[in-house]
């Protein structure tokens, strides 16, 4: 089966390509690096020819309100048109748990537009909403650092490894269209302050972590359970602590 992965050179996309290729499928990685640009439409028609499944794990290079909205509107419009022309039977898109609850953020408003365009396209589809990746927890720490302190909201977060996200996306791509949304997340919900301290490790004692209700999630207003999955979500098994241990062991071996 031919499967096209848009955003196939990224953190999730490259893993999806590797996994599906290993299972014997004809997998094409589509990204500007390979001459496929979903925003301009370049290379889409030729790349999608003969494909059965389109996997969209692309992301905007800018998270500012106007550019991110423009990216997802143009990209999704072009992908839907090209998918229809190619007779794609399954459109799989990666989104974010809590998207519909974080609409004070321009990024999540844009993701909501993307989801809606796919749902209204008449193409059989599956939307996979994932929680934050373990690989980006340090970005949360950096964003939350104000002076010498780290300020985080009193909210729960249930992250997962990028490898587990790609596994879930690949599983959905090989199945029948859900014509709905699947939430995926990690095995454990952490208080944001707890997760930050785990990320800091031995540095935690040297940094002040302050719980600040005004912080939200990357600037978006959030309540305690805004970014954790609902009941019925598919949960991975690898905890953040285990993932951290593996990363540290791999670094020590290099």
Give the domain CATH number at 248: 3.40.50.720
Model pLDDT, residue 205: 67
Task: Judge whether 191 and 241 are in contact, CB under 8 Å.
Answer: no
Closest to 55 (Cα-Cα) out of 135, 186, 167? 167
Model pLDDT, residue 254: 78
pLDDT average, residue stretch 105-132: 97
Q: In terms of DSSP bridges, do strands 156-157 and 190-191 run parallel, antiparallel, or are they unpaired?
A: antiparallel
Q: Is residue 148 scored above 90 in pLDDT? A: no
Q: Is residue 240 scored above 80 in pLDDT? A: yes
pLDDT average, residue stretch 20-46: 96
Name which of 119-133, 182-196, 199-213 the model is least confident about.
199-213
Q: Assign 153 a pLDDT band (cuts: 50, 70, 90).
A: very high
Q: Is residue 120 scored above 90 in pLDDT? A: yes
Q: Is residue 248 scored above 90 in pLDDT? A: no
pLDDT more than 90, % of the chain: 89
Task: Judge whether 139 and 152 are in contact, CB under 8 Å.
Answer: no
Q: Look at the chain and report how many structural domains it folds into.
A: 1
Domain with 7, as residue range(s), is: 2-253
pLDDT average, residue stretch 187-198: 96
Q: Which residues are CB-contacts of 116 (< 8 A; sequence separation ≥ 6)?
A: none
Q: Is residue 59 scored above 80 in pLDDT? A: yes
């Amino acid at each position: 089966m031919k499967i096209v992965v848009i955003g196939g050179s990224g953190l999730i996309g490259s893993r999806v390509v590797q996994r599906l290729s290993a299972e014997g499928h004809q997998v094409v990685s589509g990204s500007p690096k390979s001459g496929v640009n979903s925003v301009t439409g370049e290379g889409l028609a030729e790349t999608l020819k003969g494909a059965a499944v389109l996997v969209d794990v692309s992301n905007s290079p800018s998270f500012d309100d106007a550019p991110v909205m423009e990216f997802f509107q143009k990209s999704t419009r072009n992908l839907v048109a090209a998918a229809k022309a190619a007779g794609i039977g399954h459109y799989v898109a990666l989104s974010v748990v809590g998207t519909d609850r974080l609409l004070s953020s321009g990024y999540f408003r844009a993701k909501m537009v993307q989801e809606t365009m796919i749902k209204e396209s008449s193409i059989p589809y599956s939307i996979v909403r994932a929680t934050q990746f373990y690989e980006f927890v340090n970005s949360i720490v950096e964003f939350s650092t104000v002076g010498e302190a780290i300020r985080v909201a009193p909210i729960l977060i249930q992250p997962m490894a990028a490898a587990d996200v790609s596994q879930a996306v690949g599983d959905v791509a090989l199945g029948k269209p859900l014509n709905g949304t699947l939430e995926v997340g990690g095995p454990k919900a952490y208080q944001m302050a707890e997760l930050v301290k785990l990320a800091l490790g031995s540095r935690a004692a040297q940094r002040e972590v302050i719980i600040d209700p005004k912080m939200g999630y990357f600037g978006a207003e959030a309540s305690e359970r805004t970014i954790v999955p609902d009941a019925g979500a598919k949960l991975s098994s690898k905890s953040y602590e285990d993932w951290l241990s593996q990363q540290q062991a791999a670094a020590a071996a290099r």
